[in-house]
Structure 1
Amino acid sequence: MEKHIQLGENETGGVNVTAGRCDLHTHTQASDGMQPPADNVRLAYEKGLAAVAITDHDTVSGVAEALEAGKRYGITVVPGVEISTRAGGKEIHVLGYYIDTEQELLLSRLEEQRSTRLGRNEAILAKLRELGIEITLEQVVSGMGRELKPDESIGRPHIADELVRLGAAADMRDAFDKYLAEGAAAYVSPPRITPETACQWIQEAGGTAVLAHPGIYGDDALVRKLAQAGGLRGIEVYHSDHGPAEHERYLALAGEFGLLVTGGSDFHGARQGVVFHGDLGSVNVPVAVLEELKAAGGI
């Protein structure tokens, strides 16, 4: 008997529950994911998804490769980005869908974002050295096992990898808990643009702005304030780090403000054998959402 699959859920049981569905939040080697963009598309195909979004941190450099792979596998690839911002004393991420990935203005703005990220990384590494851990950016890049392209960036997961290699942490989660998560010993949060500014950038690039993983922020008053601000067109209701209570809460919030409902796994790949956030396709929404995202794009 076929199971009833609710929006955002993915169960097994002999039934292809991903057909006609999409994962709208995945990362690649262009930022802090473990796999080339084409591999994300291949995985989407193997899991029976109809579409997958490439949403790397502050870069769109992985989109072109994914689009080509999409043609080979017959998978719709949604060009996207995840922009880092700050509000209410917290780091807030804004997803942008169906952006013009060749717009020079957007590319220059994302380059500025990556410069901020580089400065943050250096500050994190300096704090780690103050804690007695001998670690450099060169070590982190070397640990990736490949050359870093000019439009790619290092993220905290890369630093966590090196901490594990150095024996300063037992695994990825331990590295974040001890050193890299908000409030941990080496956490650094540099000045960033506001979520409203990120929404404007996305809109000016013809895209649709969606608030990423609101449950992670632990501040629903801030989430409500951002929803009221006007620039957002959707909320990522379904996410690997959300449970049923978050689904219910943010589904109601989206309805209250007339915002689109999206979802995704936040797939980064596996580090030390552990999948960070969720496996690709483990959180998914109906592919019909894509037309809504297209229609909501731009100013």
Structure 2
Amino acid sequence: MNNKADLHSHTTASDGMFSPTENVRMAKELGLDALAITDHDTLSGIEEALEAGKAYGIVVVPGVEISTADNGKDIHILGYGISHEDSQLQDRLLSLRDVRNRRNADILARLNQLGMSISQEELEVAAGKTQNSDGSVGRPHIAQVLVDKGYVDNIRDAFEKYIGEGKPAFVNPPRITPSEAVAWIHEAGGTAIIAHPGLYNDDDLVLSILDAGADGLEAYHSDHDPQMEQRYRQWAEDRSKLVTGGSDFHGIKDGVAFHGTMGSRWIDSSIVNRFI
């Protein structure tokens, strides 16, 4: 046993490239003992992943990544060990997907103003969305269309030039606060972790959320350097909070992973006992 758990991965239920079953299969092939499914604002991939976990002999942690906003910044809160059949949480997440859909429309409008013509239909094709799907469509799907139409070289390029925070087509609609997301996760029986704190460029804000009731920090992440990882681990430990980690795997396109390859960041799988 390698005692490795990757606690941050996305599937086709939101903006990942692979199905929940495929993610679990890859985790097994890579020698991971546990994998968390943490799709954006949806629980729709968890049941399939749990069944795959039984088939492949790997622990699947039911999770979610909830979109929030604070101080003008997008802040993501990870929920682990949630009851994925909780009807109240499902309804709440549906309301967040409505916000996400309105944001997508606003981003497309800005891109069109910048001379990059993308239709809603093209976005839905990229997302593989059907009328029966409750999956979450987000910026990585928009980035993929930008790549497919030749406007940018790759997904990271799309974020850095157009749809990332502070870029010309970035839109930040009103959202719930991080503390509200923490409460939702706790009410669904889960553990609330601040995702990739190094991406916010606001350590004071991260600390305020942590001290306001979040259960821990995702210290280990594909976009964190070693100094960040050490700092966030120390903050969590100083407050007797949990330290987690994950790759934030979305898939691989033309040899480029966004954010990282599965298993590139991990935490000892013993922490999974705290969630399940």
Q: Give me the TM-score of the superposition, normalised by structure 1.
A: 0.90
Residue matched to 1:7: none
Residue matched to 2:224: 242
Indicate whether 1:98 and 2:81 are aligned. Answer: yes
Distance 1:238 1:137, change over 3 A: same
Counterpart amino acid of residue 203 in structure 2? D
C-alpha distance in 1 between matches for 2:275 and 2:85: 19
- The alpha carbon displacement at 1:149 in A equals 4.3
C-alpha distance in 2 between matches for 1:174 and 1:73: 35
Q: Which of 264, 267, 276 is the matching residue for 1:282?
A: 264
- The alpha carbon displacement at 1:150 in A equals 2.7
In the alignment, is the contact (CA less than 8 A) between 1:172 and 1:272 conserved in 2?
no
Residue matched to 2:246: 264
In the alignment, is the contact (CA less than 8 A) between 2:163 and 2:169 conserved in 1?
yes
C-alpha distance in 2 between matches for 1:69 and 1:163: 33
In the alignment, is the contact (CA less than 8 A) between 2:35 and 2:59 conserved in 1?
yes
The C-alpha deviation readout for 1:70-120, integer Å capped at 9, x for no partner, is 010000000000000011211000000010111110000000000000000
- The alpha carbon displacement at 1:292 in A equals 2.3
C-alpha distance in 2 between matches for 1:41 and 1:115: 28
Residue matched to 2:71: 88
DSSP-derived class of the 1:288 partner: helix
- The alpha carbon displacement at 1:148 in A equals 6.3
C-alpha distance in 2 between matches for 1:273 and 1:118: 29
In the alignment, is the contact (CA less than 8 A) between 1:260 and 1:292 conserved in 2?
no
Indicate whether 1:128 and 2:111 are aligned. Answer: yes
Residue matched to 1:13: none
C-alpha distance in 2 between matches for 1:257 and 1:269: 34
C-alpha distance in 2 between matches for 1:261 and 1:193: 24
- The alpha carbon displacement at 1:176 in A equals 1.2
| RMSD value, Cα | 1.3
The C-alpha deviation readout for 1:208-258, integer Å capped at 9, x for no partner, is 10110101111111111111112x111101111111101111111001211
C-alpha distance in 1 between matches for 2:109 and 2:93: 24
C-alpha distance in 1 between matches for 2:116 and 2:90: 35
Paired residues for 1:110-189 under 5 Å = 110-144=93-127, 147=130, 149-189=132-172
Q: Give me the TM-score of the superposition, normalised by structure 2.
A: 0.97
C-alpha distance in 1 between matches for 2:273 and 2:57: 18
In the alignment, is the contact (CA less than 8 A) between 2:129 and 2:135 conserved in 1?
no
Q: Which of 25, 33, 55 is the matching residue for 1:42?
A: 25
Counterpart amino acid of residue 251 in structure 1? R
Higher Rg: 1
C-alpha distance in 2 between matches for 1:247 and 1:160: 27
In the alignment, is the contact (CA less than 8 A) between 1:21 and 1:287 conserved in 2?
yes
Residue matched to 1:220: 203
In the alignment, is the contact (CA less than 8 A) between 1:141 and 1:148 conserved in 2?
no
Moved more, 54-63 or 272-281: 272-281
Counterpart amino acid of residue 103 in structure 1? D
Residue matched to 2:14: 31
C-alpha distance in 2 between matches for 1:148 and 1:28: 18
Counterpart amino acid of residue 133 in structure 2? P
Q: Percent of aligned pairs with the same residue?
A: 53
Counterpart amino acid of residue 254 in structure 1? A
The C-alpha deviation readout for 1:154-213, integer Å capped at 9, x for no partner, is 111111111112221122122111211001110001100000000000000000101101
Indicate whether 1:193 and 2:176 are aligned. Answer: yes
DSSP-derived class of the 2:69 partner: strand
**Which stretches in structure 1 are left out of the alignment for 5+ residues?**
1-17, 295-299
C-alpha distance in 2 between matches for 1:149 and 1:185: 33
In the alignment, is the contact (CA less than 8 A) between 1:55 and 1:81 conserved in 2?
yes
How many residue pairs match? The answer is 276
